[in-house]
Chain A
Amino acid sequence: MAGPTVQAEARAGPTPKPPEASPNPPGNPLRNSSKGHSMLRHAGKRLLAAIPLLLVVPLLVFLLIDLAPGDPAVVLAGEDPTPDRIAAIRGELGLSDPVVERYLRWVGAVLHGDLGQSLMSDQSVTDMIVRRMGTTMSLVLFAMVMAVVLGTLMAILASLRPGGVVDRLVNWLASVAIAIPAFWFGLVLASLFAVTFQVFPAFGFVPLSEGLWPWMSHLVLPGIALGLLPAAEVTLQLRSALGQELKSDYILNAQAKGLSRSAVLFKHALKNACVPVVTVLGFRVAEVLAGSVTIEIIYNMPGLGSLAVDSVLSRDIPVLLGFVLFSTSVVVVVNLLVDISYGYFNPKVRA
Chain B
Amino acid sequence: MTERQQETEAPPLLETRDLTVEFPNPAGGWTPVVQQVSFTVGQGESVALVGESGSGKTVTSLAVMGLTGVMGGRVAGGSVHFDGRELTALPEREWRGLRGPGMGMIFQQPIRSLNPAFTVGDQIAESVRRHLGFNRKAARARAIEMLDLVQIPRAAERVDDYPHAFSGGMCQRVMIAMVMACNPRLLIADEPTTALDVTVQERILQLLRELQEQTGVSLLFVSHDLAVVAELCQKVIVMYAGEVAEQGTAADIFLRPRHPYTSGLLAAIPKPGLRSDRRLESIPGSIPAPGSWPAGCRFHDRCPHREPGRCDSRHPDLTPAGPANEARCLRTSEIELQGVTVA
Q: Are B97 and A258 in contact (CB under 8 A)?
A: yes
Q: Are A252 and B116 in contact (CB under 8 A)?
A: no
Q: Are B113 and A24 in contact (CB under 8 A)?
A: no
Q: Is B117 an interface residue (CB 8 A)?
A: yes
Q: Are A345 and B117 in contact (CB under 8 A)?
A: yes
Q: Is A27 an interface residue (CB 8 A)?
A: yes
Chain A residue, CB-CB nearest to B93: A260
Q: Is A126 an interface residue (CB 8 A)?
A: no
Q: Is A248 an interface residue (CB 8 A)?
A: yes
- Surface stretch bound by A, among B11-19, B124-132, B272-280, B301-309: B124-132
Q: Is B265 an interface residue (CB 8 A)?
A: no
Bound CA–CA A26/B169 (angstroms)? 12
CB distance from A162 to the nearest CB of B (A): 10
Counting chain B CB atoms within 10 Å of each CB, which of A24, A32, A250, A254 scores highest? A250
Which positions 209-268 of chain A face chain B at CB distance < 8 Å? 248-250, 252-260, 263, 267-268
Given contacts A256-B67, A257-B127, A250 and B165 within 8 Å (CB-CB) = no
Q: Are B165 and A257 in contact (CB under 8 A)?
A: no
CB distance from A345 to the nearest CB of B (A): 6
Bound CA–CA A257/B65 (angstroms)? 10
Q: Which chain B residues border A259 with CB–CB below 8 Å?
A: 96, 126-127, 130
Bound CA–CA A237/B96 (angstroms)? 30
CB distance from B266 to the nearest CB of A (A): 31
Q: Are B115 and A348 in contact (CB under 8 A)?
A: no
CB distance from B179 to the nearest CB of A (A): 8
Given contacts A27-B166, A258-B99, A347-B164, A253 and B127 within 8 Å (CB-CB) = no
Q: Are B114 and A250 in contact (CB under 8 A)?
A: yes
Contact with A along B163-187 (1 / 0, CB 8 A): 0111100100001001100000000
Q: Is A351 an interface residue (CB 8 A)?
A: yes
- Surface stretch bound by A, among B30-38, B104-112, B233-241: B104-112
Q: Is A272 an interface residue (CB 8 A)?
A: yes
Contact with B along A327-351 (1 / 0, CB 8 A): 0000000000000000001111001
Chain B residue, CB-CB nearest to A275: B117
Q: Are A272 and B117 in contact (CB under 8 A)?
A: yes
Contact with A along B57-93 (1 / 0, CB 8 A): 0000000010100110000000000000000000000
Q: Which chain A residues border B157 with CB–CB below 8 Å?
A: 29, 32
Q: Are A26 and B166 in contact (CB under 8 A)?
A: yes
Q: Are A24 and B115 in contact (CB under 8 A)?
A: no
Q: Is B7 an interface residue (CB 8 A)?
A: no
Q: Which chain A residues border B175 with CB–CB below 8 Å?
A: 253
Given contacts A256-B99, A259-B126, A259-B130, A348 and B116 within 8 Å (CB-CB) = yes
Q: Is A31 an interface residue (CB 8 A)?
A: yes
Q: Are A250 and B126 in contact (CB under 8 A)?
A: no
Q: Is B100 an interface residue (CB 8 A)?
A: yes
- Complex partner residue of B164 from A257, A345, A351, CB under 8 angstroms: A351
Range for the number of chain A residues in contact with chain B = 20 to 34
Bound CA–CA A263/B123 (angstroms)? 12
Given contacts A252-B107, A272-B117, A24 and B99 within 8 Å (CB-CB) = no
Q: Is A37 an interface residue (CB 8 A)?
A: no
Bound CA–CA A348/B161 (angstroms)? 11
Q: Is B232 an interface residue (CB 8 A)?
A: no
Q: Which chain B residues border A28 with CB–CB below 8 Å?
A: 165
Q: Which chain B residues border A105 with CB–CB below 8 Å?
A: none
Q: Is B227 an interface residue (CB 8 A)?
A: no
CB distance from B335 to the nearest CB of A (A): 41
Bound CA–CA A252/B71 (angstroms)? 8
Q: Are B116 and A256 in contact (CB under 8 A)?
A: no
Q: Which chain A residues border B170 with CB–CB below 8 Å?
A: 26-27
Given contacts A31-B165, A348-B164, A258 and B116 within 8 Å (CB-CB) = no
Q: Are B117 and A346 in contact (CB under 8 A)?
A: yes
Q: Is B162 an interface residue (CB 8 A)?
A: yes
Given contacts A252-B70, A348-B164, A257 and B100 within 8 Å (CB-CB) = yes
Q: Are A27 and B65 in contact (CB under 8 A)?
A: no
Contact with B along A1-44 (1 / 0, CB 8 A): 00000000000000000000100101111011000000000000
Q: Are B160 and A32 in contact (CB under 8 A)?
A: yes
Bound CA–CA A351/B163 (angstroms)? 12
CB distance from B153 to the nearest CB of A (A): 8
Q: Are B131 and A24 in contact (CB under 8 A)?
A: no
Q: Are A257 and B99 in contact (CB under 8 A)?
A: yes
Q: Which chain A residues border B104 with CB–CB below 8 Å?
A: 256-257
Q: Are A24 and B67 in contact (CB under 8 A)?
A: no
Counting chain A CB atoms within 10 Å of each CB, which of B71, B99, B161, B164 scores highest? B164
Q: Are B164 and A271 in contact (CB under 8 A)?
A: no
- Complex partner residue of B127 from A32, A258, A345, CB under 8 angstroms: A258
Contact with A along B127-170 (1 / 0, CB 8 A): 10011000000000000000000000010011011101111001
Q: Is B98 an interface residue (CB 8 A)?
A: yes
Chain B residue, CB-CB nearest to A350: B162
Given contacts A255-B67, A258-B99, A26 and B113 within 8 Å (CB-CB) = no
Q: Which chain A residues border B101 with CB–CB below 8 Å?
A: 258
Chain A residue, CB-CB nearest to B175: A253
Q: Are A272 and B116 in contact (CB under 8 A)?
A: yes
Contact with A along B307-327 (1 / 0, CB 8 A): 000000000000000000000
Given contacts A32-B160, A272-B115, A263 and B165 within 8 Å (CB-CB) = no
Q: Which chain B residues border A256 with CB–CB below 8 Å?
A: 65, 67, 99, 104-105, 107
CB distance from A286 to the nearest CB of B (A): 27
Bound CA–CA A124/B128 (angstroms)? 62
- Complex partner residue of A253 from B113, B130, B161, CB under 8 angstroms: B113
Report 26 cross-chain contacts, Cβ distance below 8 Å, ordered by A residue.
A21-B164, A24-B164, A24-B165, A26-B164, A27-B166, A27-B170, A32-B161, A248-B112, A250-B115, A253-B105, A253-B107, A253-B114, A253-B175, A255-B67, A255-B99, A257-B104, A258-B127, A259-B126, A263-B126, A268-B118, A271-B118, A272-B116, A272-B117, A346-B117, A347-B117, A351-B164
* 12 additional A-B residue pairs with CB within 8 Å, beyond A250-B113, A258-B130: A21-B164, A27-B167, A28-B165, A249-B107, A253-B113, A256-B67, A256-B105, A258-B100, A267-B126, A268-B115, A271-B115, A271-B118
Q: 9 shortest A-B CB distances, which residue pairs?
A: A258-B99, A258-B100, A249-B112, A347-B162, A253-B113, A250-B115, A256-B105, A257-B127, A258-B96
